Structure 1
């Protein structure tokens, strides 16, 4: 029996639910994000989880849409680090009414943080139908549902009241509409100051007149059947949207999934107030970062999808989310771990090509490299990432030098253009330039270390002589690898291809340290054969003699 991955299991469940609830209609999978600040790699799970499920449903020939609700009508809560403190005057306004951060080309705060996410989603092959909550509320689309929620406020208050005395959950800090003048699930923004520092003091169901006062001193009575500058509180807003959009699948983070939280309460509200059904809603776990990027810490935030796509190709990033069940946490590497990660990915691709990959591995790989719309762009010649990073490090990203080295890697099948190894080369070069600390970058000596060369014993001198002697006949990555490992064997009286003894392994490490010290002034560096190729035979001879 073929193993079934988590995406297929949810797709089965969603298709079955759709046929039961709304046969013949478009299946709706949903995500929701607030552009209150940088949308980070943890938030990306909110989008990629339903994307993968929706894509599987489309692969099976069903009509399925993935909607992405942008909560740009949420209130501006606080001024993040690094932004002019004067922006605090906008706290309480809708995100679309707050000016973008200084220097931004975007018209408002929400658009500033939404734009890079949309660009990243396009690179990742994620197709979504965008829904701006500012547009939905201010155009009056939700008006009848707002009036319904106000008519049913006693029922909603009763549902919420079942949980208010329970232990606080992580999203209960949200205003649920309860105030000194009673319970109202609708929160108007002030028509004068635009903030939500308002209190509803009265509401009449028949005339829909609503009276509010604002902390700014303004107060007025409006007709809610005509007033669209406000929104339902979160625990009512979310289930209203489930019913309005007919959502069948929408995951949520652990903060929304605990007892008494918005997903649980929303299940009752959507049934009892809006006549809808709660979506299938798996909880997704934390996404961590291995080696926080310096460039992102300076922004005062965790890395974003755009940051990740600057150092890794889109299929690799998709794979990290596809291979883990939503409730499994994992880390995304910005440090040296990315080298091992790419080795693992390349190994998987070789196994997939050979037909030897495990079924679930092959499925996760397929979801990473293509969608129902077609394959994602890939690197034509996928040379090892760690090698490309070393080449970029040694050459400080100089195109001419990088091409020279990559051409020499395999003389029988030379790289003739850097385009063959892009975009992977560009990702590796960017990782080297931004994530490798300066003190770990490779700095090749300008002049020979004459003091060290003069102090060498006869065995060390002979090892360098054997290395230099074999350079010209070993000028490819494979042959240089054989050469540097064979020198200590030959010195020990063994054949170049002999299996190394424990003593020879020690001698190999000592030889490598000697060569690294003479070339780059440290006892380690990029893989020695790659470093030798990068330097060229003439420069090696200059530094080792």
Structure 2
């Protein structure tokens, strides 16, 4: 993250003033959640040391495809760090790549991977071969690269930290030795929760993680306290391996020399010589006793509940959110808060809980299996700014879903409505801040579509024309009118490409538009007089105003004319509204042989006047 001053704070001046204090009881304008969190982080961090750079942190494990749920782990601190940077305050966003974690299982459905990868279970992710055909040297780098590319497209700037490099280089040597010397104190902290977890119904008890998931999914609209209480009732985080064993407590887990895995059992440790003795278990159950000196041998890592607070202290982290499973009694975040100060001399960061991100119709995502949508998948069907907006408009403790189905059209309608609203006096401070955070960062604005035609209209055009470039350009020119001259489809990109990809990959085949090749003479012959009059009026007036607006007025206006009303009339009697719906249904049957389809004005514009008249004439 750049420490230089970027563009102005996106929150309007009156909202910024409200953050910095007014008289007690004074009314305060609405302020977005990002600004509120940034206020807290700045006040807390500068309360410790006003001169140091503020650190916001994320952690990602490249154990498989890094999905849209993981993206919340990045976007929450990114948005807070970006807000701090906009204020001209030195700040850094660090992402710890947990690439020294063990390979737990072979993810399902990853291209180029089969069950032979199960031979690598227990090895560090950086010691596992990349999927076949990958250009990257190992498993971790393969999945890190895809995420890094997506983050760049979204304007997320960060400093990446490879935990493999940190551990194997000896960067954490002193921290590891100190943790081993302090193992009895650490064990005493963890022991409180082991006792609780053994008692059914106790605050730290391990219960079905699905309950925590359900609590988080229902967190939308709740406040932080309610969400935390719900999470505490259902977290399975207290069951994480913490270094305990029959030979005593040891917070360091070695990777064996013989087999390269963490299938190891520590037997003893000598504080004076730093020699660690352990048993390594092979794939067939064979056991080998090995030893290493922690002051110079670096093939292993601290267990997670000790590793995380160690990193807080090492990096000086001020802000790091975590998922619901890390936010209950006995979980990593709560236990880490009791370890970081007494053991490592650091402080626990401000750490709001974030709720799960879902996909329309899908359960909670897990990167340990393949086939889950990633940020790259989402940006094939939506622009980066829209994806940023999804993570900006909901507080971290509110769950939400990313639409890959037809709801994406409604989503884009909302996005375009926000874009129009922020240009008017009706825009609220929260609207302005939310929009500004979506379209750019402290470093500048993201690329955008020069002529943002409604997504649903572009999808309809692609659907009807099959994406033919000439037809698309002709039809969309009719949509935008004479105010904008379209000379190239590049003026519609990347939104056009997103809509085209959605139609080709996500739109159900049964929803695709099949335009009739011949008129339905039987249906035309059976029309009642009022229906025939409506169809004839439409055919006769098609080219009076051959534009999206003109055709919209025409199809909505014909039932008004037939009902004796002015075409500009807004308040319609029920019978005219019914006549409008019946006309639309009739036109769908005549044009596409179905009861539904794209919006009628878009359909007419796409087909052209000659083809429409041919299908409406017996």
The alignment's TM-score, normalised by the length of structure 1, stands at 0.96
Q: How many residues align?
A: 542
Provide the aligned C-alpha RMSD in A.
1.8
Conserved? CA contact 1:292–1:334, under 8 Å:
no
- The residue number in structure 1 matching 2:258 is 192
Counterparts of 1:291-306 in structure 2, within 5 Å, are 291-292=361-362, 300-306=370-376
- The residue number in structure 1 matching 2:137 is 107
Correspondence 1:79 to 2:106 = yes
Conserved? CA contact 2:41–2:350, under 8 Å:
yes
Correspondence 1:403 to 2:450 = no
Counterparts of 1:330-479 in structure 2, within 5 Å, are 330-413=400-483, 414-479=485-550
Counterparts of 1:63-462 in structure 2, within 5 Å, are 63-82=90-109, 83-166=113-196, 167-168=205-206, 169-216=235-282, 217-292=287-362, 300-413=370-483, 414-462=485-533
- Structure 2: how far apart are the matches of 1:151 and 1:80? 37
The 1:56–1:463 alpha-carbon spacing in structure 2 relative to 1, beyond 3 Å, is: same
- Structure 1: how far apart are the matches of 2:533 and 2:84? 66
Correspondence 1:537 to 2:609 = yes
Out of 176-185 and 453-462, give the one that drifted further.
Answer: 453-462
- The residue number in structure 1 matching 2:224 is none
Gaps of 5+ in 1: none
Out of 211-220 and 496-505, give the one that drifted further.
Answer: 496-505
Conserved? CA contact 1:292–1:335, under 8 Å:
no
- The residue number in structure 1 matching 2:212 is none
Out of 527-536 and 491-500, give the one that drifted further.
Answer: 491-500
- The residue number in structure 1 matching 2:588 is 516
- Structure 2: how far apart are the matches of 1:491 and 1:249? 65
- Structure 2: how far apart are the matches of 1:262 and 1:385? 43
Shift of 1:269: 0.9
Conserved? CA contact 1:291–1:333, under 8 Å:
no
Conserved? CA contact 2:238–2:329, under 8 Å:
no
> Per-residue CA shift, 1:465-489, capped at 9, x if unaligned?
1111001212111111111112222
Correspondence 1:62 to 2:89 = yes
Out of 487-496 and 369-378, give the one that drifted further.
Answer: 487-496
> Per-residue CA shift, 1:136-183, capped at 9, x if unaligned?
001110011111111111111111101112112422332211111111
SS at match of 1:61: coil
Out of 281-290 and 68-77, give the one that drifted further.
Answer: 281-290
- Structure 1: how far apart are the matches of 2:154 and 2:569? 47
Conserved? CA contact 1:394–1:442, under 8 Å:
yes
- Structure 1: how far apart are the matches of 2:482 and 2:391? 38
Out of 457-466 and 378-387, give the one that drifted further.
Answer: 457-466
- Structure 1: how far apart are the matches of 2:460 and 2:164? 48
- Structure 1: how far apart are the matches of 2:481 and 2:410? 27
Conserved? CA contact 1:292–1:302, under 8 Å:
no
Shift of 1:242: 0.5
Shift of 1:3: 2.8
SS at match of 1:353: coil
The 1:253–1:209 alpha-carbon spacing in structure 2 relative to 1, beyond 3 Å, is: same
Shift of 1:407: 1.4
- Structure 2: how far apart are the matches of 1:506 and 1:20? 65
Conserved? CA contact 1:323–1:361, under 8 Å:
no
Shift of 1:448: 1.9
- Structure 2: how far apart are the matches of 1:495 and 1:226? 88
Out of 202-211 and 282-291, give the one that drifted further.
Answer: 282-291
Correspondence 1:488 to 2:563 = no
Conserved? CA contact 1:291–1:334, under 8 Å:
no
SS at match of 1:231: strand
Shift of 1:494: 3.5
> Per-residue CA shift, 1:305-361, capped at 9, x if unaligned?
111111111111111211221111122222222222211111111111123211112
Shift of 1:291: 4.4
- The residue number in structure 1 matching 2:213 is none
Conserved? CA contact 2:263–2:280, under 8 Å:
yes
- The residue number in structure 1 matching 2:225 is none
- Structure 2: how far apart are the matches of 1:79 and 1:31? 24
Conserved? CA contact 2:237–2:330, under 8 Å:
no
Out of 210-219 and 55-64, give the one that drifted further.
Answer: 210-219
- Structure 1: how far apart are the matches of 2:406 and 2:195? 48
The 1:30–1:290 alpha-carbon spacing in structure 2 relative to 1, beyond 3 Å, is: same
- Structure 2: how far apart are the matches of 1:11 and 1:124? 20
